Structure 1
Amino acid sequence: MKLVSWNVQWGRDAGGRVDLGRTLAEAKRLADFDVLCMQEITRGFGALPGGPGPDQFAQIAQALPGYTVLEAVGADLPSLDGSPRRRQFGNAIATRLPVAQVIRHALPWPADAAAPSMQRVALEAVVETRSDRLRVIVTHLEFYSLKQRLAQVAELRRLHQEAADHAAHPAPGENTTGPFAATSRPVSAIVCGDFNSEFGSQAYRSFVAPLAGAPGFIDAWTTLHPNAAPPPTAGVYDTAQWTSGPVTCDFVFVTEDLRGRLRSCEIDGATQASDHQPIVLELD
């Protein structure tokens, strides 16, 4: 299974030009992916730099025939012109694997008067591989507020423990046609995205700390590249937005039980199709 995680910045490249179709073509060039996890996808946010199209979730679906496109909106705001169209900003998963459950988790948003912020979400999809099922979660944590990032990390860990509890104590479905489906979820999971937390930071260390009642998370890149620090994932080419220099803040984490299935995890340092660099994961 091949997965690409990428903060695509609504298709805006390092030079400021928006072309989401080009970004998706670049993702396909990087890997024949089964799952594409994207952050910073928009609907109705045409006023953003570069002028993204009116509905990027629909644009992704049109550009990737044969893929199921899932969306999770964090910021959901009224239009600027009084029309019914909302301004929405969030994450997306495109996958050609069968999808069982889809869960949208609103992440904590504790008050922090010192920092601008927005509602953040985690999009979870239970996908079926040839051998088993996995939970794939894509998220994008708060940029400005450490207080909020730490709360969001804690919630992602709690949600993983909840899923492990569901796996250990599944409830039957009411029937095959209603919404009360069986609650069983796989323990094995991939959590990826823009954590807005540097490698080795407090939020990073908190996320990979041991967990009670569930397999903990490991960093796929560092597991496959022991004794090495990952290369930067943001601000490599876009120095206008990242004036303090490049940072490593995008990660792919997998549960400990998937360690033996890690085949490769690479950060592409060449593409300039976003202000972030994509990560390509391959599992046996």
Structure 2
Amino acid sequence: MKLVSWNVQWGRDASGAVDLARTVREAQRLADFDVLCLQEITRGFRALPGGPGDDQFAELEALLPGYTVVEAIGADLPALSRAQDPQQNPLPRLRRQFGNALATRLPVAQVFRHALPWPAESSAPSMQRVALEAVLDAPGGALRVLVTHLEFYSLRQRLAQVDELRRLQQEAADHAAHPAPAENDVGPFAPTARPVGAIVCGDFNSAWGSEAYTRMLEPLAGSPAFIDAWSVLHPGATPPPTAGVYDTAQWSDGPLTCDFVFVTENLGAGLRSCEIDAATQASDHQPIVLEID
């Protein structure tokens, strides 16, 4: 199974131009992916730099025929009034939504949308963050894939969000150990059994080796712990930067390694490759390509 994880900043490249179709083509150049995990996909946010389209989730569906596209919205805000809109777009106006998308050509069993903790922090801006989880029928068996994007400005919020990702893994492992049956074949009370194995990927806004990064790797009671796929496959090496490589205006403090693919350690033997592409300039972040059996 091949997976690409990428913060695409609504299709905005390092020079500021927005073209989501180009972003998808770049992902396809990197890998014939089975799963594409994207962060910073928008709906109704034409006022953002570069002017993204009205509904990028619908754009992804059109750009990826044969793939199922699922979404999870973090920030969900009222539409701008005509007076607020710098492009003076006509009505109807969409709510401004900002979140994650997962596109896959594998069968999707269940989808979960987890609002991450958002403790009050008055000293800096922040937004509601979300983790999108899909249970996929992969070639080697079912597994869970989660794509997320943690808070940028607040360490306190990032740590709370890492703790929640870890708790969600423990909850899934508990469901795997103690499954409940479906009420019937057609209702919403589906079987609760979930695979223990998970991939958690995205922009963690946390430097490699930072407090939030190392907390993600700590042991988990009742569940396999997470491991960093890149570090496991490149023992003793320091990962290359994943943000601010080409966009030095937004990343004036210099490049940072803050995008990761974590897998539960029971999947570790199946890791085949995990590479950070350093060439593309189609975002302010660099994509990660994972291959796992």
TM interval, shorter chain, is: over 0.9
Equivalences for residues 243-258 of structure 1 within 5 A? 243-258=252-267
Deviations 1:223-269 (A, max 9, x none): 00000010000000000000000000000000000110000000000
Partner of 2:123: 114
Q: Tell me, in whole angstroms, the C-alpha distance in 2 between the residues paired with 1:127 and 1:65.
A: 18
Structure 1 unaligned blocks of 5 or more: none
Partner of 2:164: 155
Partner of 1:61: 61
- 8 Å Cα contact 2:75-2:98 kept in structure 1: yes
Partner of 1:20: 20
Report how far residue 123 of structure 1 moved.
0.1
Q: Tell me, in whole angstroms, the C-alpha distance in 1 between the residues paired with 2:75 and 2:145.
A: 21
Q: Secondary structure at the match of 2:25?
A: helix
Report how far residue 130 of structure 1 moved.
1.9
Q: Secondary structure at the match of 2:185?
A: coil
Report how far residue 131 of structure 1 moved.
2.5
Report how far residue 115 of structure 1 moved.
1.1
Deviations 1:14-51 (A, max 9, x none): 00000000000000000000000000000000000000
Partner of 1:46: 46
Equivalences for residues 131-210 of structure 1 within 5 A? 131-210=140-219
Q: Tell me, in whole angstroms, the C-alpha distance in 1 between the residues paired with 2:252 and 2:94.
A: 34
Equivalences for residues 58-97 of structure 1 within 5 A? 58-81=58-81, 85-97=94-106
Q: Tell me, in whole angstroms, the C-alpha distance in 1 between the residues paired with 2:216 and 2:43.
A: 30
Equivalences for residues 202-281 of structure 1 within 5 A? 202-281=211-290
Deviations 1:185-238 (A, max 9, x none): 000000000000000000000001111100000000000000001000000000
Report how far residue 84 of structure 1 moved.
5.2
Q: Which moved more, 1:245-254 or 1:77-86?
A: 77-86
Partner of 1:30: 30
**CA-based RMSD:** 0.7
Of 102, 125, 133, which aligns to 1:124?
A: 133
- 8 Å Cα contact 2:80-2:93 kept in structure 1: no
Identity of aligned residues (%): 76
Partner of 1:99: 108
Q: Tell me, in whole angstroms, the C-alpha distance in 1 between the residues paired with 2:241 and 2:7.
A: 13
Q: Tell me, in whole angstroms, the C-alpha distance in 2 between the residues paired with 1:248 and 1:38.
A: 17
- Give the TM-score normalised by structure 2: 0.96
- Give the TM-score normalised by structure 1: 0.99
Q: Tell me, in whole angstroms, the C-alpha distance in 1 between the residues paired with 2:139 and 2:152.
A: 37
Q: Secondary structure at the match of 2:61?
A: helix
The amino acid that maps onto 2:49 is P
Q: Tell me, in whole angstroms, the C-alpha distance in 2 between the residues paired with 1:123 and 1:256.
A: 21
Structure 2 unaligned blocks of 5 or more: 83-91
Aligned length: 284
Q: Secondary structure at the match of 1:167?
A: helix
Q: Tell me, in whole angstroms, the C-alpha distance in 1 between the residues paired with 2:39 and 2:100.
A: 4
Report how far residue 274 of structure 1 moved.
0.2
The amino acid that maps onto 1:230 is P
Q: Secondary structure at the match of 1:6?
A: strand
